[in-house]
Each structure stands twice: as C-alpha cells, then as structure tokens.
C-alpha cells in the first residue's frame, strides 16, 4: 500500500487504516455473535423485558459523567459541538441514555418500566490488548421498582443467561455485594462517606477493595496504607489509612472467603455497630432468601465482599457475573477467566433530571468479553459452509450460468456465479477460499447435451489425500458426477445434505 509520505511524485493518497482501539469484525465472529445475542435476547424476553433502542449521540450534559475514570473528568467520552454550538457526545454506556429516556417519557411508561437494549458504546480511552474504544453491551434494567426482588431477579437473569449460552453450572458465579455495606465498612474505618471532602479518599479505598481478588489481603492493606509497588516497580499511592482502619477493611474482605453458604453470618461480626452496613446486610439476606426459594443455590448466586463495581452511581446491591474456569492469560499464566458483566441499583440517577427519586436496577453484559469466554470453552457453532459456486467456463455464456445460479437460489440454496475474470484453476481456488462445498461446471459439450457436472469439494479433498497417483486420480475423477440440468436442484441438495448433517 502506497504511503502518502513515501513518494513525492505520486498523487497524495490517504493510507487505509483504522484509528487505534477500533476493529473490523469478520464473518465467522459476527455469525457467532449473532447467535449469542439471539440467545441472550430470548432469555431477557422470557423475563418480560421489552426492547428499546436509543441513538448513539446524546447531549453531553444529559449523559453526565458516570464513567469509572472520575479522576480524568474531561476524558473518557467522544464529544463534539452541534451547529448550534451545543455539545454532543457518543454514549459511553446504555444506562445514562436510559435515564434520559425515562425522565423524558415518564408519564407514558408502565411502572415499573422494564427494557433491554443492545448496541455499541464508545470510550475515548487509551486502548490496550482486548480493550477497544467501541464495544457492544447488552443490558436489562427495571426502573421504578424499589423492591429488592428486582435486584434478586437481575442475578437470576444473569445466571440463566450464562447457562442458556452453554456455560455449565460451576463454571460461573453471580457475586453479590451492597454499596451500603461497603460504605458502612468505610465509616467504621473513619471515612465520612457523605462528605464531599472525603470523596476522593472514598474512591481510592473502594478501588483498593476491588483489588482483593487480585492482590489478596496483604496487597489491599498496602493500597489502603502508604501504597504498593508492583513487580515492574510502578508505585500506586495508597489511601493513607491507619493500621486499625486497614484491618477493619481487610477483616471484612477476608470474612466472606471460603464456604459461600455461610458467608453472610461470618461477615456480620466485622461490621457490627454500623447502621448503614446493617441495612445493606439485611438487603443481601433478603436477596439471598429470594434466590434460594427460587432454586438458585450459592454455587450460582453468592455474597462476595470484594465486589465493588467502578461506577459512581450505584446506591445499593451490586453484582458481578464471573466465570470461574481457568484460562491462560497473555503472559501465559493460568488465571480465572473473570468478569463478563455486572450491574447494580442506582436509585439516584434519574433524579438528576427529575429531582424525584426513581429507584432502578440493571445488569449489563460485555458482549465481546463473553464471546471470548465462549470461544475459550470451545462453544463454537459449526462454521457455515460457503456458497455453491457456479464456474464460468465460457465468458460468452454468462447469462446461462447466471440462470443456473438463480435456479439454485430460488430453491433456497446458497449459491453464486463466479464474478471475477480469472481462468478455471483460479476459480477452483476461489471456491476453496470461500469454503464452498461444491462447484457446478458446464462446458460447451455439456450445455449441448443439457448436462452439468457437480464436483464435491469436501469429498474431493478427502479423496485427493487418499489418492497419491496423478494418473489414478484422472481416471477415478472422485467426487464428481455428471447430471441432467433439470436434476440440478435435487442433486445439489443431496450433495449438501451429506455435509450439513
């Protein structure tokens, strides 16, 4: 490809390239994705959610700033000015647009309002391996429901969705926590969670707690104290809490480890005396009772003190769908696959518009992350066969080949006439590259007799592997059959049926 810089005498041409963090998705991955989205949609519909689509572009002030990267408030979002100078942004998730939609249409909607949505979201962030600036989310939300049953339902929805996609029980767990409990623990550690002055420290502490799965109690203790240096020597500044405060938090985090069934009872002493935490624990207990009554044991939905979730706007239960089976990471280490989605309750978000509290809860799936998980479990549907290719043996007879092609298509058979200008050999290569199961050949002698030849490329490849001798090959002409043109559809169907079983 000619670079514009290279050659001063050549006309100035743009270099065909994508901006960093964006990617093209090819046929095989798209087909897998479509099948996956259809399965998710089925489960969400079964739960009574209705589809809604909002546009990719919204007013910047309407989207607000609820990204995890609160320390970079002007980044994270793609923004630009409209002709009337108002700022527009590309949506960075599907929740902020939902809040706008509900506030705008509140009186018309059934209450509770239950919708699902899927689509691309955009993050103006530094891309990395497996981290893109455009990616797909699949969300379900219940708006206008104060009941903790709505949160319990989100967890069951998540579990059912993963199982519907073929992820075995035991290979996943929906981990549940509650922001009220976390804030209670922070209060016990001496942080004023309601005060704007302590907001930055609260965020540092929550982020440290989020790392419990990764670094354990000792690592988190460093992040809560003076800071932590990683293997590469990079230093993360800490929250500068004192020893007693630190051990309150790590004690809470550690208490839930081990047997999931009794985790709640083990955690209770670590938060004794804090009213906020007690309220959160009561909600967790209620959720636990509900999902157990509906048949979802702690192997599927379980309390976990280390679930924080990055978004600022959560106010109560938070949950995370984690895949527990092991994979090799990019550095060759064996690790748990990890999170493929999550969500929680956000009772104050819609009040940003209306001034009135509208309780809401939701769950969001990271589509490509989940697709990667299915791929690593070998959950791939069989690759689709390519089209039947009708070869062009005689360029003057294109209309005749086109007619053969349309006859196949009209019968519902995936087919195409070769549309390039190359010869027989290149046409066979093309059919091969397209994954065609068979080609249709008609030379002038055959046309005169009203015949066509069908060549089975899959059987042919097997036969070619078995037959060593070129002469033997020519005599046998394996996987090739001459038929009458009026038998075309039925014979092609027979041949395809062999490979589609």
Subset of residues 245 to 274 that bind a copy of itself, contact rule: CB under 8 A: none
CA distance 182 to 252: 9
Residue ranges of E strands in 247-387 = 301-303, 317-328, 334-345, 360-366
* 382 binding a copy of itself? (CB under 8 A): no
CB of 467 to a copy of itself, least distance (A): 27
Q: How many angstroms separate the Cα of 500 from the Cα of each of 38, 385, 386, 458?
A: 22, 8, 12, 11
* 398 binding a copy of itself? (CB under 8 A): yes
Q: Restricting to residues 405-444, name those near a copy of itself by CB under 8 A.
A: 405-406, 409, 412-417, 419-422, 430, 433-434
Compute the half-sphere exposure of residue 487: CA atoms within 13 Å on the CB side of its CA: 12
Give the DSSP letter of residue 219. H
Q: Which of 94, 156, 263, 321 binds a copy of itself (CB under 8 A)?
A: 156
* Per-residue x/- track, 92-111, a copy of itself (CB under 8 A): -------xxx-xx-x---xx
CA distance 379 to 88: 40
* 53 binding a copy of itself? (CB under 8 A): yes
**446 CA to centre of own chain:** 52
* 403 binding a copy of itself? (CB under 8 A): yes
CB of 60 to a copy of itself, least distance (A): 9
CA distance 301 to 117: 24
* 354 binding a copy of itself? (CB under 8 A): yes
Identify which of residues 146 and 451 has a Cβ nearer to a copy of itself in the complex: 146
* Per-residue x/- track, 281-310, a copy of itself (CB under 8 A): --------xx--xxx---------------
Identify which of residues 51 and 297 has a Cβ nearer to a copy of itself in the complex: 51
* 352 binding a copy of itself? (CB under 8 A): yes
C-beta of residue 93 within 8 angstroms of C-beta of residue 342: no
CB of 175 to a copy of itself, least distance (A): 20
CB of 327 to a copy of itself, least distance (A): 25
CB of 418 to a copy of itself, least distance (A): 8
Task: Give me the torsion for CA of 389, 394, 400, 402, rounded to 10°.
Answer: 40
**305 C-beta neighbours (distance < 10 Å), count:** 26
- Map residue 488 onto helix, strand or coil: helix
* 86 binding a copy of itself? (CB under 8 A): yes
CA distance 76 to 168: 35
CA distance 439 to 328: 41
> Which of 309, 333, 334, 335 lies closest to 321, judged by CA?
309
CB of 289 to a copy of itself, least distance (A): 6
Q: Restricting to residues 54-73, name those near a copy of itself by CB under 8 A.
A: 54-59, 61-62, 64
CB of 292 to a copy of itself, least distance (A): 8
Identify which of residues 147 and 257 has a Cβ nearer to a copy of itself in the complex: 147
**123 CA to centre of own chain:** 15
* 394 binding a copy of itself? (CB under 8 A): no
Q: Which of 69, 93, 160, 312 binds a copy of itself (CB under 8 A)?
A: 160
CA distance 133 to 131: 7
CA distance 104 to 167: 38
CB of 172 to a copy of itself, least distance (A): 17
CB of 319 to a copy of itself, least distance (A): 16
* 226 binding a copy of itself? (CB under 8 A): no
């Amino acid at each position: 490809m000619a670079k514009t810089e290279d050659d001063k005498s050549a006309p100035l041409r743009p270099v065909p390239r994508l901006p960093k963090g964006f990617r093209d998705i090819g046929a095989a991955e798209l087909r897998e994705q479509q099948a996956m989205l259809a399965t998710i949609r089925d489960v969400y519909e079964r739960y009574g959610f209705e589809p809604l689509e909002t546009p990719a572009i919204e007013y910047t002030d309407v989207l607000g700033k609820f990204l995890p990267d609160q320390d970079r408030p002007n980044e994270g979002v793609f923004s630009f000015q409209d002709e009337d100078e108002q700022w527009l942004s590309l949506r960075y998730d599907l929740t902020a647009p939902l809040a706008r939609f509900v506030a705008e249409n509140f009186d018309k909607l059934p209450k509770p309002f239950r919708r699902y949505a899927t689509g691309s979201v955009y993050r103006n962030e530094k891309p990395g391996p497996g981290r893109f600036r455009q990616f797909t989310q699949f969300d379900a939300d219940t708006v206008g429901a104060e009941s903790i049953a709505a949160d319990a339902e989100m967890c069951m929805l998540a579990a059912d969705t993963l199982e519907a996609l073929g992820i075995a029980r035991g290979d996943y767990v929906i981990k549940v926590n509650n922001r009220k409990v976390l804030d209670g623990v922070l209060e016990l550690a001496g942080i004023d969670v309601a005060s704007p002055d302590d907001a930055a420290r609260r965020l540092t502490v929550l982020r440290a707690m989020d790392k419990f799965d990764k670094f354990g109690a000792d690592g988190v203790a460093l992040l809560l104290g003076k800071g932590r240096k990683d293997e590469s020597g990079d230093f993360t500044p800490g929250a500068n809490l004192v020893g007693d405060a630190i051990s309150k938090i790590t004690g809470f985090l550690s208490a839930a480890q081990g047997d999931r069934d009794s985790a709640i009872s083990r955690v209770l002493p670590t938060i004794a005396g804090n009213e906020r935490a007690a309220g959160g624990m009561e909600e967790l207990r209620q959720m636990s009772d509900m999902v157990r009554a509906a048949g979802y044991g702690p192997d599927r939905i379980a309390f976990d003190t280390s679930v924080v979730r990055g978004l600022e706007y959560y106010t109560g239960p938070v949950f995370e769908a984690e895949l527990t089976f092991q994979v090799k990471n990019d550095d060759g280490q064996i690790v748990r696959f990890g999170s493929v989605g999550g969500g929680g309750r956000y009772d104050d978000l819609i009040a940003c518009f209306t001034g009135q509290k509208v309780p809401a809860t939701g769950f969001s799936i990271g589509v490509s992350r989940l697709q990667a998980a299915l791929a690593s479990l070998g959950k791939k549907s069989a690759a689709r066969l390519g089209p039947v290719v009708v070869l062009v043996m005689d360029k003057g007879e294109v209309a005749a080949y086109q007619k053969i092609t349309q006859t196949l298509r009209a019968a519902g058979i995936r087919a195409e006439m070769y549309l390039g200008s190359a010869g027989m050999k290149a046409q066979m290569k093309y059919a091969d590259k397209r994954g065609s199961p068979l080609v249709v050949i008609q030379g002038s002698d055959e046309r005169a007799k009203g015949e066509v030849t069908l060549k089975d490329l899959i059987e042919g490849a097997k036969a070619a592997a078995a037959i060593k001798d070129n002469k033997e090959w020519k005599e046998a002409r394996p996987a090739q059959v001459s038929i009458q043109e009026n038998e075309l559809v039925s014979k092609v169907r027979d041949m395809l049926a062999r490979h589609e079983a």
